[in-house]
Amino acid sequence: MDRVGHSIERPAGKIRVDLVIPVLNEAHVLDQSVATVRAFLATQGDWIPRIVIVDNGSTDGTDAVGERLAGAHHDVLYLQLPERGRGRALRHAWTTSDADVMCYTDVDLSTELEALPKLVDAIAHKGYHAATGSRLMRDSHTTRSFKREFISRGYNLFVKAVLGTTFSDAQCGFKAVSRDAVQHIVPDVKDQSWFFDTELLALVEKRGFRVCDIPVRWTEDDDSRVKILRTAWDDIKGVVRVRYTLWRAAWRPSRATSTRQVV
């Protein structure tokens, strides 16, 4: 595992926020995305922000771009993993972080960055252990194809029916977690790929931690290389696995019953 970046001091009274950007063959967009994120984070005066680029398996020169960005900017860290998988990237970045709040966003920035402070506030100040962007709430604004809308809504209804969860959008690439959740939940998430998000939120709820749903503005990326139907099928198999695991383990919530709240 390669690691390029600088250490960041922690002034008293400010929270440390890591924003992870998992990447796979994104050399063509990484520069612009990081510039956009850095400009936005510079407006958040109550945070000590850091961008963590996690490259796992790229072969298009993403490594050179990531290393250059980390070398040029004190608030950018570049990590390189040999194996692919968004879940694997998030697990590694979060479990090795010393931040107070750990977030992630997809590199295409389909979700508006303006919603990021709400994610952080839910974790840092409102007692939630996970916060997730939702494209399916009444106040959300989504621009995407009918096929993706149909599959997304169907999948999330399936998750609720099988797992008995309350969060509205399991797979939006825009989430935040607390250090406590990373320590107690993330090591038990088995999936290394796209289902990581659903499994994480399900375990957070089932263990009595609190999840916050946040409506977002989301625009479909025309350059997305996600294989929608294959990913959906893998996710359905993951839901069945988690349901069986929950049934066998008979979870005993360690905290008050999970609640969902819009902020």
Residues identified as active-site: 197
Q: Which helix (H) or strand (E) holds 219?
A: strand 217-219
Distance of alpha carbon 120 from alpha carbon 49, whole angstroms: 11
Closest CA to 66 of 98, 26, 95, 94: 26
Distance of alpha carbon 86 from alpha carbon 249, whole angstroms: 26
Q: How many residues does the chain have?
A: 263
Residue 110, beta-bridge partner list: none
Encoded amino acid at 157, one letter: L
Buried b (16+ CB within 10 A) or exposed e, 37-62: bbebbeeeeebbbbbbbbbbbbeeeb
Distance of alpha carbon 202 from alpha carbon 193, whole angstroms: 16
Q: At what angle do helices 146-163 and 228-249 cross, to 10 degrees?
A: 10
Whether 198 contacts 159, CB under 8 Å: yes
Whether 3 contacts 71, CB under 8 Å: no
Task: Give the chain's radius of gyration (CA, Å).
Answer: 17
Distance of alpha carbon 162 from alpha carbon 243, whole angstroms: 7
Q: Which helix (H) or strand (E) holds 146?
A: helix 146-163
